[in-house]
């Protein structure tokens, strides 16, 4: 089955695992996901191939960003009424501290989900969620533009 056929609202732990296995890049990164109450907690286990600064050593900043972007998209899909594969429009990352070669965690929040656009924030940390390593905001496209009918009111709302 393809990922599109597998996605759905409120996945259980086994389903989340299956989603990740269908995304080659998530497999390459070694990304995992688990359920904590109603929230999804994402984990990026340490791996030498993810090092971006060998002298610290620290995980590549781009990898931390990619992990957070994947987390944001999966979190969004799991919370959509009618899940579709979201397309990232833009992604804005704030780096707060270097990510050491240890477990990196991420959790996400859908700030707003309109008909066409979703706004999702992601926080990543290592030892203490109160001391994040990075925060991010992503906009995802979740539907193609609708066709405005003649004389119809075109809503500005997304």
Partner 1 sequence: MNSLTFEEKLRLIKQMGAFIPHSSGLGVELHSIEGSELTLRLPYQQQLVGDAETGVLHSGALTVLLDQTLGLSAVCSNDIAPSVTPTLDLRIDHFGIAPPGADIFATGKVLRATRKILFVDGYAWCDSPDKPIARATGTWVRVMDIDLEWIKSIGRNSA
By CB under 8 A, tell whether 39 contacts partner 1.
no
Figure out which of the listed residues 16, 20, 63, 142 binds partner 1, where binding follows CB under 8 A. 63
Based on the shown chain and the rule CB under 8 A, indicate whether residue 17 belongs to the binding site for partner 1.
no
The answer to the question of residue 84 lying near partner 1 (CB under 8 A) is no
User: Toward partner 1, which CB reaches closer, 55 or 151?
Assistant: 55
Q: Output b/e per residue, 40-67; b: 16+ Cβ within 10 A.
A: bbbebebeeebbeeeeeebbebebbbbb
Cα–Cα distance between 64 and 2 in angstroms, integer? Answer: 26
Tell me: does residue 111 bind partner 1 (CB under 8 A). Answer: no
119 forms beta bridges with 112, 139
Alpha-carbon span 146 to 114, nearest angstrom? 13
Stretch that binds partner 1, among 2-10, 33-41, 106-114, 144-152 (CB under 8 A): 2-10
Instruction: Quickly count: other Cβ atoms within 10 Å of residue 153's Cβ.
Output: 7
CB of 71 to partner 1, least distance (A): 10
- State the residues that interact with partner 1 by CB under 8 A: 2-4, 22-25, 27-29, 48-55, 59-63, 65-67, 69-70, 85, 87-95, 98
């Amino acid at each position: 089955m393809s990922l599109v056929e597998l996605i759905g609202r409120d996945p259980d732990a086994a389903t989340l695992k299956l989603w990740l296995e269908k995304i080659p890049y998530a497999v390459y990164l070694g990304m995992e996901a688990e359920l904590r109450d109603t929230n999804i907690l994402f984990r990026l286990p340490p791996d030498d191939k993810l090092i971006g600064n060998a002298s610290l050593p620290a995980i590549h900043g781009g990898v931390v960003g990619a992990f957070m972007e994947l987390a944001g998209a999966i979190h969004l899909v799991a919370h959509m009424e009618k899940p579709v594969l979201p397309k990232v429009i833009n992604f804005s990352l704030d780096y707060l501290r270097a990510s050491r070669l240890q477990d990196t965690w991420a959790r996400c929040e859908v700030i707003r989900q309109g008909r066409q656009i979703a706004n999702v924030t992601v926080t990543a940390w290592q030892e203490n969620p109160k001391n994040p390593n990075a925060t991010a905001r992503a906009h995802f496209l979740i539907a193609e533009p609708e066709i405005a009918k003649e004389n119809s009111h075109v809503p500005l709302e997304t």
